[in-house]
Structure 1
């Protein structure tokens, strides 16, 4: 049957086959399907987050029926696996803060300096070689950094500071700082390069030097993005597990001495999750309580980050 015969057999007012109207209908169908798929992806992400929070809350409530939240939050001793038991999370929080603070003190100036060099001073061939190498550095497994800390970094630290502890917070801070360094460099360099060239040209036209343009124009214009990279790196350092488990040790204690062994919140979760602790016991439920505290800390950092970024955008707009 010819196309003319098929068109003649259609009801009056119907679009002919293969017309633009058919294409629009098919396109709308595909767009609706894509819309449903994307909405399902977003809903799955939300449901995953809600599921994690529900599990943490359910198990943590069982824990807090036996342990006072006041003791948990303000106690200075953490020994849930030995008698007499103590459930004060402050030693774990102190260890996490010590390692994270040391890591960001190491990574922030190095990362920002490297980002400024790659964005403002490095020739194009150098940038094209160095940046992919940094991305490869970001892909190294964290357990490799932990082994590096124990076999290489820790002996150097002990030799320099005359320390007797093989496992110490300083070694963990160094390797975690190396781990978060690519995040700071990559994000900060992208933000610096996104600063409009007109700002640079205007500053040069007024007689500013390259240093003045970089420090007084480019960096302040990109400061919100730089702060975002720092906060993202802090979140990564807080959640790091294997490297600090191998490097920092497993001694929960309140100390500000980076040469002593400490235990972070994530390292404790790894210790209990090995399978030696009976499921359903109060010792087992401590990992959910610690996980909930870690979740609250991370969420607080994200809220503070959003507040800082909004204030900076208002200041420079």
Structure 2
């Protein structure tokens, strides 16, 4: 129903704009029209902003809080036989089972208590959705009444509308900041829980990564090893291979297109490179596992090397092909943005086009090029699908590119798949890996800003 509510808000907002604008037209045609401060369009925009924006925010907040509130009602209504002595994780499993039964996903015959709770859950969800619709309509009616009453010949509709837009932009900025703080806080909190179970020294400097642990007392499994050095090494190995492939090809392609290629060649090559950026990563993964990996194994056999079926070389090479458009496009833009006077001055002094490119254009465009390279590094570190399909899931401590390795993102996905409790070190290890990945990315951004600041001061 949420989609219909948003559609209703859009329609009512458009209708409010038309009625507000019509009201402005009537004021303009009236005896006091000469004193009118703002155009009729601003009157309509003011009314539409008052009607649409509060209702939209209300529905978003309602959807954000609805699930938690309904879950609280659901837990409170459960019989004591289900909740007495149960931990928070066990209660969450019971709630998940109730939701599955309510959605028709029945894996085993539910108990009568679960069936009754599922019926209540469906009824409360329906009540919450209709209440959201009524609340949105009421908010729009009240806002329309208040906004339309403000319309008058000397009413500063344009200024009021601009204030509403300014408030909306401030709200969006606050949402972005709060979201970032929430992401960081969740990572830090869950990682701290993990480090209370596993020493941070073992995680950062341990040489064995085997997060398989027993979930029950009667289950046979290992004790678990959470040394993340093999995971970090695999991430760096694949990212390095990818950047060794993407950086020179992307940079040389940009240099050729900017300085040496004719307009006809540029019009053909540039769109082809842009198409590579839009190819889904799963397609690159299929290409890696079906074409590149067998070719690497075959070539290794010809020269007497034993290549793993899933190798870092195959995954890194295909990932480098995927990153080429990002580096090439940003480097192209950076080189094209260098003032023509710098290029002409170098040529006038007798420098060749090659010398001009190396000694003038590349240093001047270095901030943009560094930004493109760091964007490629971020894509390489954060890529998952290609690594899963072409490099494997086993964490091996090696720098040999023909061996099978894994990366941080792959392990995060692997650890969070399944019904493992969040109190388990196996699940919490994903947050520790995510925190390390966040810190590494932050450091890369700081280094990039320092480089950009240094050379921007030099060439401005």
Q: TM-score normalized by structure 2?
A: 0.64
Q: Does 1:101 find its partner at 2:120?
A: no
* Structure 1 match to 2:195: 64
* Structure 2 match to 1:16: 35
Computing the radius of gyration from Cα coordinates, the structure with the larger value is: 2
Regions of 4+ moved over 2 Å: 1-7, 17-27, 276-280, 311-317
| Cα deviation code 1:233-280 (max 9, x no counterpart) | 111110111111111111212111000000111111122222153443
* Structure 1 match to 2:167: 36
* Structure 1 match to 2:417: 274
Cα distance in 2 between the residues matched to 1:141 and 1:209: 41
| Cα deviation code 1:138-181 (max 9, x no counterpart) | 11111111111110000111111223411010011101101111
Shift of 1:219: 1.3
| Cα deviation code 1:87-122 (max 9, x no counterpart) | 111100000000001111111100000001111111
Cα distance in 2 between the residues matched to 1:2 and 1:184: 56
State the secondary structure of the residue aligned to 1:126.
Answer: helix
* Structure 2 match to 1:296: 439
| Contact 2:395-2:405 within 8 A present in 1 as well | yes
**1:220-299 to 2 correspondence within 5 Å?**
220-299=363-442
Cα distance in 2 between the residues matched to 1:49 and 1:242: 25
* Structure 2 match to 1:216: 359
Shift of 1:3: 8.1
Task: Flag structure 1 segments of 5+ consecutive residues without an equivalent.
Answer: none
Cα distance in 2 between the residues matched to 1:144 and 1:4: 62
1:315 to 1:5, Cα distance in 2 relative to 1, 3 A: closer
Q: Single out whichever of 125-134 and 271-280 deviates more from structure 2.
A: 271-280
Q: Does 1:305 find its partner at 2:455?
A: no
1:19 to 1:240, Cα distance in 2 relative to 1, 3 A: closer
1:207 to 1:272, Cα distance in 2 relative to 1, 3 A: same
| Contact 2:27-2:153 within 8 A present in 1 as well | no
1:28 to 1:105, Cα distance in 2 relative to 1, 3 A: same
State the secondary structure of the residue aligned to 2:31.
Answer: helix
State the secondary structure of the residue aligned to 1:72.
Answer: helix
Shift of 1:27: 2.5
Q: Does 1:27 find its partner at 2:27?
A: no
Cα distance in 2 between the residues matched to 1:173 and 1:72: 25
1:3 to 1:230, Cα distance in 2 relative to 1, 3 A: closer
Task: Flag structure 2 segments of 5+ consecutive residues without an equivalent.
Answer: 1-25, 40-151, 214-221
Shift of 1:17: 2.8
Cα distance in 2 between the residues matched to 1:258 and 1:206: 46
Number of aligned positions between the proteins: 311
User: Highest relative contact order (Cα 8 Å, sep 6+), 1 or 2?
Assistant: 1
| Cα deviation code 1:11-40 (max 9, x no counterpart) | xxxx71367897993322232222122222
**1:128-277 to 2 correspondence within 5 Å?**
128-162=267-301, 163-277=306-420
Q: Single out whichever of 146-155 and 215-224 deviates more from structure 2.
A: 215-224
Q: Single out whichever of 133-142 and 25-34 deviates more from structure 2.
A: 25-34
Cα distance in 2 between the residues matched to 1:5 and 1:249: 75
* Structure 1 match to 2:209: 78
Q: Single out whichever of 123-132 and 184-193 deviates more from structure 2.
A: 123-132
Shift of 1:301: 1.1
